[in-house]
Structure 1
């Protein structure tokens, strides 16, 4: 059998003086593992070149046949290696799998050599586990690519089917060149040509002058805004009218437009009445949640019927021009919180607070807000929802304080810790002052005693927290 190794041309000159110890060292470092065997294939010695602990048990192979150290399916390869080495002096390289102590298999690629006239052999092997791992990853990657390929093929098949059976004309257009990249059967019918002949043409085409101008504006709007609404166009031939709309999307780093044409006798998906501003205003007026629009200083510009019910007022004229803080939140406290959060985030969502009616009735509410600081008339929009019936049966003050602290918690990361701690201390101090005033029926002298502060100190805190009008004076007489 022919050898698979090309020998050195000047082996006698290069290796003639090498002794047995040096030769053994060369064989040991030629691979990751080297086995010395007798003519029967029984292992007499083992040498390891690497530091891999997986082969530490290889010393236990000494005295065992080489075939007993490998998996049953690779024992035939061992027999072939031994026969080739005995006949030709060196065998071809073959991979076998060794059984390790942990039950795993270790693939090793061996070449066997005959060492002398007595028939002793040496097998030099290379650990192939890293190669096997790479091969396994390659197979898995190929399988994943196959799955993705077939998934994309199925998606494309569904897309082509829906694209072709759609009753509306659909064109896919390159947003940069405005050339048609794809067209369905309905588009060919609308433009009086086969879909294949539409591909590559510059859009718009096939319409009258006014329609072409409107389609150009439609594509410009779709590129800038992502979507453009319906426009009514007429075809140059036959004069038939169509509703045209466009949307913009990205595919493979390219910007594309999808233009859709539907016959004008089909009603739009959203009627003109539903899009009418008057219709929107009517829906807001009938909403079960309060809706209020104020200027940036908090003065009410308009309010719906639900908010008038919360405020206990009969007409919108009564609330217009008054401060929103008169009815919602703590006077002088919550509205600055709203404006601060609006400036930072643009919106306020579901902030829990209280509402007060003009006749003394109170309720728990959730307030959401959005503002429009630009424009001719900057304003803030508030949605007020009564949540009193779904609150847990916990003390009123505890709910207020907990919710207020939770609102401050949402500012973590946007406000410094020092400011957060200061605001929280002010919030807690105000809460307990209000509780003391409520407990003493608004008698400030008694409230100061309950709180353990002087009456003068309490007055300072009342003014700082705006719980009393500037210049507010002494306690009412005690009866």
Structure 2
């Protein structure tokens, strides 16, 4: 606290009456208390405050602490102790009970006037400040409620903007740069959001229509009235209708442009056929999958989800088919290479791995689906486990045909596959020689360059001789 530098010279020798008037005029309430905190005198600057706090003169002779509410009585002792130690205390808010029922807040400071048994406690009525604070809080709460309502409204309109089937674009009226576009507009221009948002609106249309578009935007900006024009897309020369509206947002002018593309209308028969095809795709007993050119899944039907042990299509969409099909990085690569070369793959034998470790023998057929510059792939996957023998052949059992041997590729190690191939060739050679010699084993052994005993061993091994012992005695040696 800073006091007068020369009070005697500037204020003179003021009497007690002058000081009392000065204190009463400078504060809303002033109380003189003794060392025990008992009120010895009191003064009010406002009559209404005097009536509310001391209407019946009950403060004189009462303890100052008894005039405040119980929750603020401890602050009275702190005021007086600070006044003794520091000559004056800091400001503390005390609340006085009011006959009207609402407490009256008053900010007090105690001043030591130089006598050990006397303190002057001056106070300022805080009701006006409290009312302003309450109004400020109410205004803040009202702003928060308005902000929440605006956020909800923005969320609803943003959702409507995103799900609308009509292409809508927002562009800056000054620079004509695209600042926002909904998914329908991205699909119409066949662009991604980052690429579209970095470009000017007119650059996506044919150069012949650029002047008409510029004139339309200038007219709408000058008049403020909605208008429309027709123009052709630069990508595929498709004709579009442009409906332009002007609005202001945060001191900036923006154009909202709605685009409608003329598409050939399908007749009822074509629509019905399309619906049936879509229905077949969904309920087909075979797994049906549409992927991008690199095998990334776009759409899959329920049968594929069941084979892959998935519950929702979203679990498959965006993933690579290689996660579930055949040996990772091998089988799908072979299929994709064949599709790029010939455009189709038929009855490719492979495995389908489920998300929880289950495997199934499947046949895969695929075809390339071209749409302009874009190429997608269609896969049909059929579970063929029921076609396979329930008994797994032993390691020594030989395949009955070359086709059976081919099916083993990718399922057994190369070493075993080579051994099986050699056995097949040996068996086929022995059968051919026996047919040529009319069953004469001695002549067959000579043609094959084998001893008779070696030939008999191989006959028994391949199951071509009914008797393993004594066959040599039954043969003719001509």
TM-score if structure 2 supplies the norm length?
0.48
Which is greater in Rg?
2
